Amino acid sequence: MFWQLTRSVVLISLLATFALGQPLPPPEKVRRGPLSEHATTHSVHWEQLPLGAAIRRLHSVAGVELILDRRVDPNQTVNLSLTDASAEEIVAALAGACELGFARCERLFYLGPPRATARLMTLAAMRRQDVAALSTSARQSLLERRRILWPRLTQPRDLVVRLTEKHGWRVEHGERIPLDLWPAGELPKLALADQLTLLLAGFDLTYRPLADRKTIEIIPVDWSRLRPAAKYNSSTKRQTPPVARARHVYTLRVENQPVGRVLDRLGRQLGWKLTVDEAAIRAAGRSLDAQVSFTVENVDADELLDALLAPAGLQARRDGKNVRVTPR
């Protein structure tokens, strides 16, 4: 079988949350373990804590993957107090306290200027769409997933060049990346297409894959011309968690399969009632025959649909079991 969907059920509780069938974690103020806002809650109380230190604490204690935009001062102090909050609620409150925005790419949170973060996932989807139009071999190299780390005083220009060359591509107009020195950092295992988007965003840059020359061209990005991705807009308002509810999360890997076929299989397996606007899809120059490759772990149904459809330039609106698919 070319793919296998794994579904897990987690129970969200006001006082403690844990994966069904797993032992309850030890009673700590911040519960340890891999990031999953559906499976754990956290409590924080920070007074005059530097933003950089807050980010490091979230990562080391709660497993939160978070990258800070280079334009944000990591030494600004934060006052924040939350109890039994999900990781995303903490990041949203942290962003609000610093007058920032945030975006989310799979497990990774990106904290930065609101204008950029509100549109970052739109930009990422556009780059995935560019990659989806490439040949199979070129597409696979840009969708290859590796975790990357860099030491203190790394120059981002060198980092982008080295990372790109490891995947068999070269960089054109790398001089457009200003000289800078970064603290030590890392990105989780993501597709190269997404890692490049995240690394370049802080310079108001993006890239264009030129398959005929196996080249990544660095180009400027005009944020004002991109539509905000409303799903990822930050909000400082906390939602009160339900006392208890069941929720499904999914793990899925797909390699070079037509998006329509995978969508149909998911619909039948998950009991979705699919409505596909094929006329609008054709008019937009998209196709359900476009091949996609992606891997997701422990995502909800909406994130699963986005991972499947975005590389093909499609999107879905889901209302319970009713799913409508249209072009982006």
Q: Low-confidence residues of the chain, pLDDT below 70? A: 1-39, 230-249
Which range marks the domain in which residue 175 is found?
A: 114-229
Q: Are residues 92 and 123 in the same domain?
A: no
How deeply is 319 buried, as exposed, middle or buried, from its count of CB atoms within 10 A (0-12, 13-18, 19+)? Answer: exposed
Q: Are residues 103 and 182 in the same domain?
A: no
Q: Are residues 129 and 107 in the same domain?
A: no
Q: Are residues 119 and 104 in the same domain?
A: no
Phi, psi at 201, each rounded to 5°: -60, -35
Among 180, 205, 229, which residue terminates a domain? 229
Structure tokens that stand for 209 in this block: 């894959």
Tally of structural domains, the chain? 3
Is 5 contained in some domain? no
Q: What's residue 186's pLDDT?
A: 92
Q: What's residue 33's pLDDT?
A: 38
Amino acid at 256: N
Angle of the 301-309 helix axis to the 259-270 helix axis, nearest 10:
160
- The structure's pTM equals 0.61
Q: What gap in Å lies between CA 125 and CA 309, rounded to an integer?
A: 9
- Report the CATH number that the domain containing residue 176 is assigned in CATH: 3.55.50
